[in-house]
Amino acid sequence: MTHGTQPGPAASGTPTAPAAPGRLSPAEARALFRAGLVTPTAGYSDGYAQANLLIVPKAQAFDVLLFAQRNPKACPVLGVLDAGETSSELLAGGDIRTDVPRYTVYEDGVLVDSPTDLGAVWREDLVTFILGCSFSFEAALREGDVPVAHIEQGVNVPMFRTNRACAPAGSMSGPLVVSMRPIPASQVADAVRITSRYPAVHGAPVHVGDPEALGIEDLSRPDFGDPVQIAAGTVPVFWACGVTPQAAVMQSKPALAIGHAPGHMLITDLKNSALQLP
Amino acid sequence: MTHGTQPGPAASGTPTAPAAPGRLSPAEARALFRAGLVTPTAGYSDGYAQANLLIVPKAQAFDVLLFAQRNPKACPVLGVLDAGETSSELLAGGDIRTDVPRYTVYEDGVLVDSPTDLGAVWREDLVTFILGCSFSFEAALREGDVPVAHIEQGVNVPMFRTNRACAPAGSMSGPLVVSMRPIPASQVADAVRITSRYPAVHGAPVHVGDPEALGIEDLSRPDFGDPVQIAAGTVPVFWACGVTPQAAVMQSKPALAIGHAPGHMLITDLKNSALQLP
């Protein structure tokens, strides 16, 4: 991993994945990623909220914040770093330029790079949006004995572009992207009840059953993530997905935008339990 | 009431207060205010959310939206109208310049006028923020048989500046302002549970008991609103208050800011029930 124009450490200096990532504090996990570990973050720092990332120049920041306000289920804002700020109480002692295992860099809406730090692209006018992620409500579902199929199957959650447009905001527009989890029919009500209590991490489903109505023709062919086996007796349940802001970037084509690589999240100091209502 | 530079209707054309304001639809209520009725809106359009208003030039809009994001209990955003927009689905068929019974106009943080329409001050660069109001959760408290003292006593809720600073955002900073409701000790838990379900209208209390810790020396001398009689066996419970953004305007001194006059709210087409989680 390189930081700015400094040469990176020798390969022998790169940390290896820990044996018990769930027991790491968020600060410990971020330090590993800062030191060069590159890995998906599922299973790290049990009990703490992982987050989606979207970084744009200040000139686009109002449009992004308004887009988030108008599409709160897809883009729940946990925190915003002012232009040029690289840390906050959500990542105490950390650095947003280094503490995510892998980033995505979009120029004019096109993915141009997936660096492991932002030394080469950071600018003082960049505003960082930290957005809630479904990992938090998945922990609550499992605690509530609602099975989460893609976790049991060891794959990434399947995600689909829908035929629904998000509410636009200035230069930002795009489709609603949803994640799908097949839920046993007897537990759909539980899944709604439990996730409703977490509005800061996508909240209640946007759609239950009937994928065709969302313009989804084939549940086995997701637009992002992996297909998941759908057991008999389950109903496909759709939640607004944190990929939505990156889809809006692709459609809206700001000169520069930075996100996290899929599954490579920011691990925050926020406890999932603090996000629960009521 | 005048609209723009047009002469207003004759006094005989001003509508009188309706006999059953709770039964008016939001559109009917707004039409009365647009036609010249000036009255506090408590008791109007039962079941619908009334809202606080804050209007600022586009140049300040990002700071205001970020201030709201960082202080969501005090400034819960229900909707934002783009620069120059005067209506939205929150006030279908309405006009934000005329549909609030009375406004406040601040220049450099100082209240300079309290007009009944914005014809004289409207500009195409003004961005309107529509913010949740405690009227919505008070309806839920009463439905839950939790007494709301100031309503029973027929006065405005008492509000206090606290010694807590809001999280600042760019040019916007100010103290947290709270409203206080004395709740019977046996029902404090109910009050917390019920209002927690309404994060879009201030949500759970920020403080229960111990007013001194908030820097409140005398509960009988509120900074805004009216004193309320505090019955024996009740505990003072404090919620973040929608006056907070106007207090921030007073401290932050933007060149121009517009609010609603106290108690003279925007009646929206949003049902209170739609704001309830889970």
Domain locations in chain A as residue ranges: 22-132+251-273, 135-245
Rounded Cα distance between A264 and A246, Å, is: 14
Domain spanning B135-245: CATH superfamily: PSTPO5379-like domain (3.30.2040.10)
Q: With an 8 Å Cβ cutoff, is B277 touching chain A?
A: yes
Rounded Cα distance between A200 and A276, Å, is: 8
In terms of DSSP bridges, do strands B266-271 and B48-57 run parallel, antiparallel, or are they unpaired? antiparallel
Q: Give me the residue from A66, A77, A199 closest to B277, CB to CB.
A: A199
Rounded Cα distance between B41 and A124, Å, is: 46
Q: With an 8 Å Cβ cutoff, is A66 touching chain B?
A: yes
Rounded Cα distance between B82 and B95, Å, is: 13
Residue B6 in this model has a pLDDT that exceeds 90: no
Residue B21 in this model has a pLDDT that exceeds 80: yes
Q: With an 8 Å Cβ cutoff, is B130 touching chain A?
A: no
pLDDT tens for each residue of B138-197: 999 999 999 999 999 999 999 999 999 999 999 999 999 999 999 999 999 999 999 999
Q: Give me the residue from B169, B193, B278 closest to A204, CB to CB.
A: B278
Taking the domain B22-133+249-273, which CATH number applies?
Answer: 3.40.1640.10
Mutant choice from B65, B85, B127, B195 vs A, greatest count of A C-beta within 10 A: B65
Query: Which parts of chain A sit beneath pLDDT 50?
Result: 1-10
Task: Sort out which chain A residues have CB atoms less than 8 A from B62's CB and list them.
Answer: 61-62, 65
Asked if B238 and B205 touch (Cβ cutoff 8 Å), the reply is yes
Asked if A177 and A247 touch (Cβ cutoff 8 Å), the reply is yes
Specify the DSSP class assigned to residue A224: B
Q: Give me the residue from A69, A82, A193 closest to B278, CB to CB.
A: A193
| 150-179 in chain A: CB under 8 A from chain B | 169-170
Highest CATH level, class, for A22-132+251-273: alpha beta
Mutant choice from B63, B70, B80, B90 vs A, greatest count of A C-beta within 10 A: B80
Considering only CA atoms, which of B220, B241, B9 is closest in space to residue B116? Answer: B9
The DSSP H or E segment spanning A225 is none
* Cα distance from N-terminal residue to C-terminal residue, chain A: 42
Residue A278's pLDDT is: 80
Residue B235 in this model has a pLDDT that exceeds 50: yes
Size of interface A-B (CB pairs under 8 A): 50
Tokens of A175: 């489709």
Locus of tokens 């141009």 = A112
pLDDT tens for each residue of A84-127: 999 999 999 999 999 999 999 999 999 999 999 999 999 999 99
Residue B12's pLDDT is: 57
Residue B177 neighbours by CB under 8 Å, 6+ apart: B74, B159, B160, B161, B162, B223, B224, B240, B241, B243, B244, B247
Tokens of B272: 């209170």
pLDDT tens for each residue of B43-90: 999 999 999 999 999 999 999 999 999 999 999 999 999 999 999 999
Rounded Cα distance between A32 and A20, Å, is: 13
The DSSP H or E segment spanning B147 is none
Residue A277's pLDDT is: 86
Asked if A141 and B53 touch (Cβ cutoff 8 Å), the reply is no
